[in-house]
Amino acid sequence: MPAARALLIAAVSSGQGKTTVTAALARKLVRSGRSVRVFKCGPDFIDPMVLARTSGAPVESLDLWMVGRERCAKLLAEAAQEADAILIEGVMGLYDGTPSAADLSREFGVPVLAVIDAGAMAQTAGALVQGLRDYGPVDLAGVVANRIGSAGHAAMVSSSLRGVPLLASLPKQARALPERHLGLVLPDEVAGIDALLDELAEQLAFDEAAFENLAPIQFTPPASSPAAGVPLAGRTIAIARDAAFMFLYPSNLRLLESMGAQLRYFSPLANDAVPADADALYLPGGYPELHAARLSGAVQWRSSVREAHAAGMPIYAECGGMMALAEQLVDKGGASWPMAGLLPGTVTMQARLAGLGPQSMPTAHGLLRGHTFHYSRLDSPAEPAGYTLKQPNGAQGEALYRAGSLRASYFHAYFPSNPAATAALFLREDV
């Protein structure tokens, strides 16, 4: 049975430094010669890109609802077969959400490494840590004190923990991982990102002996489930992939390939046309609002997607992909840019969060699970074909639009949650 040392890195809230600590610890373990696999708890696209850069391996999501317990178990068991260490970055606060990072910790017996922002506290850190441990409770392996000012400061924090080990500390950073409205800036856009990650690893004071004393966890792979089959055999799916369209779950791509599809990537930002041999088109989310001028000027891309739509090619567009298919996109500065125009209406960026949280999409094959996270709104005269359902209360979620062969929404789907519904998105049939 595969086994590996594992930690779930969590905190009392967002903003405590979970991603920075996870990245620093992953890079430190890799530099010490260990094979490391990193996961992200909950739906996320951006943090996994940073963590993949620091660990050298793809980063999958773990979530007991969206991904499902069986697939989480499968992913962890696969990782334990090839890695010495598994790190799981939590989401928001340790107990936030239904299910929460704490639920995932307890489900698979992964101890928690609590990150605390100690920049403006000392002995009160102990009270915070005791509450994090006992509220659930959870198995607490230790603490990382972030934004430590001095060795004396670290000693005060450590003495307050009442037996909980201080496994690591990280000093206040002169240079941090930069952020924007949807989260961290993408690693390829950060000058000297690898040097910054190496610097974080060097500055992380880490008790490697305590880590080695952690008992390896045995991850039991699930009983083999029925294969999804190959309903997409012989079909080529064109996938937009560049700085404007990059929010892709690795598991989504793996599932499409396992169902027989050939994946063909192209770049609307480079004014690439939809590949001529494509049978279907997938436009994932991303940052079209940051590249609106280039997309607007990509005449070949815009005309090719209109031609594909007129020919009845199945097109699935989610969030940023949908934004690029509207008639107009109004950026944060108020400038209006013409888009491909397959969906009537205008997308407008706004300072206020417009949608966040887990949701599911009703289909003829059952619910397809996923999430939503966006700062824009679509004002369209088109009548929605339906709506997603918010998790866990079932309230009305995002609008689902149909325009001929186009299916579009702010909803991001996690394809392995329903392979049959996923295949239907890329076939000429009802979903």
DSSP string, 62-97: E-IIIIIHHHHHHHHHHHHHH-SEEEEE--SSTT-S
CA distance 25 to 27: 5
Question: Exposed (0-12), middle (13-18) or buried (19+): which is 428, by Cβ within 10 Å?
Answer: exposed
Quick one: pLDDT at residue 46?
A: 86
Question: Exposed (0-12), middle (13-18) or buried (19+): which is 101, by Cβ within 10 Å?
Answer: buried
Quick one: pLDDT at residue 47?
A: 87
CATH T-level fold of 3-218: Rossmann fold (3.40.50)
Going residue by residue through the chain, which has 431 residues, state the pLDDT in tens, using 9 for 90 and above: 689 999 999 999 998 999 999 999 999 999 999 999 999 999 988 889 889 999 989 999 999 999 999 999 999 999 999 999 999 999 999 999 999 999 999 999 999 999 999 999 999 999 999 999 999 999 999 999 999 999 999 999 999 999 999 999 999 876 666 665 555 566 666 667 788 889 999 999 999 999 999 999 999 988 877 777 899 999 999 999 999 999 999 999 999 999 999 999 999 999 999 999 999 999 999 999 999 999 999 999 999 999 999 999 999 999 999 999 999 999 999 999 999 999 999 999 999 999 999 999 999 999 999 999 999 999 999 999 999 999 999 999 999 999 999 999 999 999 999 999 999 999 976 65
- The answer, as to whether pTM is greater than 0.75, is yes
CA distance 24 to 51: 9
CA distance 269 to 89: 32
Q: Which residues contact 208 (CB under 8 A, 6 or more apart)?
A: 32
Quick one: pLDDT at residue 228?
A: 75
* Domain definitions of the chain by residue range: 3-218, 236-425
DSSP 226-288: PP---TTTT-EEEEE-BTTB-B--HHHHHHHHHTTPEEEEE-GGGTPPPPTT-SEEEE-BS-G
CA distance 101 to 90: 6
Helices 46-55 and 18-31: angle between axes, nearest 10 degrees: 20
As a 3-state breakdown, the chain gives helix, strand, coil percent values, each rounded to 5, of 30, 30, 40
Superfamily (CATH H level) for 236-425: Class I glutamine amidotransferase (GATase) domain (3.40.50.880)
319 an active-site residue? yes
Q: Which residue has the tokens 């201080």?
A: 166
Q: Which residues contact 142 (CB under 8 A, 6 or more apart)?
A: 113, 114, 164, 165, 166, 167, 168, 207, 210
CB-based contact 238:273 (threshold 8 Å): no
Q: Which two tokens stand for residue 75?
A: 């992913």
Q: Which two tokens stand for residue 54?
A: 């620091």
Catalytic residue among 319, 322, 323, 400: 319
Q: Which residues contact 72 (CB under 8 A, 6 or more apart)?
A: 62, 63, 64, 104, 107, 108
Exposed e or buried b per residue across 340-368, where buried means at least 16 C-beta atoms within 10 angstroms of its C-beta: bebbebbbbbeeeebbeebbbbebeeebb
Structure confidence by residue, pLDDT tens digits, 375-400: 999 999 999 999 999 999 999 999 99
Which residues pair with residue 387 across a beta bridge? 399
Quick one: pLDDT at residue 207?
A: 94
